[in-house]
Amino acid sequence: MKTPRSAGALKADFPYTLQTMCYVEVHQDGTVRFGHDGDAYERARSGESRLFAVWPGEWSSDMFAIDDLDEYARAFGIVHDEKRTGLAAHQHDVTWRTDPHESKPNGSYVGIELRLACGCEVNDLATFARQMGEQQGWDVATSRGWGSRWSAAEGKTYSVRVRRTTLRRR
Ligand SMILES: [Zn+2]
């Protein structure tokens, strides 16, 4: 038998949010559960349980101890990580317009182009979507393609899809 490797030793290179990662929580009383939820972080932090993860490989799988809970929490957005997401925890200065190439401007989701004048960058759409939900009431689609482009005139422009009824000009 082997000892689990250290996920913390890999820092941000450990793919915490990999879909196929299997998280295992071992409670103090020996109860074992697997899966993933936000409460596991709190339990692990308080010493109520320990977290492990099986990282599946093509030919064999390795078990890791989730021994850097801060890294784990940042990866899952349990605590905000400005460096990883490119997004400060502030009210973003957003300007946007409907994508001029949108073929269905009356569909339930419409493509918009937006710019961030506050200096933030969108490296993590899930975090940006959550922030825009809180700040503007937008329902940003996170399951579909999004992108960005850069031009000297306009700087960085992001294309995302937002539920039309949640888009209101202020
Ligand atoms: Zn910002």
Burial of 77 (0-12, 13-18, 19+ CB in 10 A): middle
Query: With pLDDT > 90 as the criterion, what percentage of the chain qualifies?
Result: 79
Distance between CA atoms of residues 70 and 72, nearest Å: 5
Query: Domains of the chain: which residue ranges?
Result: 5-79, 88-166
Ion ligand 1: residue ranges with CB closer than 5 A: 88, 92, 118, 120
Residue 111 alpha carbon to ligand 1 centre in Å? 20
Distance between CA atoms of residues 12 and 81, nearest Å: 12
Residue 129 alpha carbon to ligand 1 centre in Å? 13
CB-CB contact of 27 with 48 (8 Å): yes
Per residue in 106-152, pLDDT (tens digit) is 899 999 999 999 999 999 998 999 999 999 999 999 987 799 999 98
| Beta bridge partner(s), residue 150 | 156
